[in-house]
Amino acid sequence: MTTATTPLRSIDLFAGVGGIRLGFEQAFGERGIDTVFVSEFDTHAAETYAANFRTPSKRERERE
């Protein structure tokens, strides 16, 4: 059961550079929203997304 203080969870399909995630984060404010999965096919968009949200890109994860 979710309450007003429990963060929501979302997935970001066809994520681009993260515009919808940013909108969700701003819209849900203090309650918060956790993005638990991201999918982006375009390499350049995925790297920009990773930089925008400080998450490792697929290329960075493959190097580890």
Query: DSSP letters of 1-64?
Result: ---TTSPEEEEEET-TTSHHHHHHHHHHTTT-EEEEEEE---HHHHHHHHHHTT---HHHHHH-
pLDDT score for 6: 80
Does 2 reside within a domain? no
Does 52 reside within a domain? yes
pTM comes to: 0.70
Total domains in the fold of the chain: 1
Question: What does the pLDDT look like over 5-57, one tens digit per residue?
Answer: 788 899 999 999 999 999 998 998 878 888 888 889 998 998 899 889 887 65
pLDDT score for 59: 57
Range of the structural domain that residue 31 is part of? 8-63
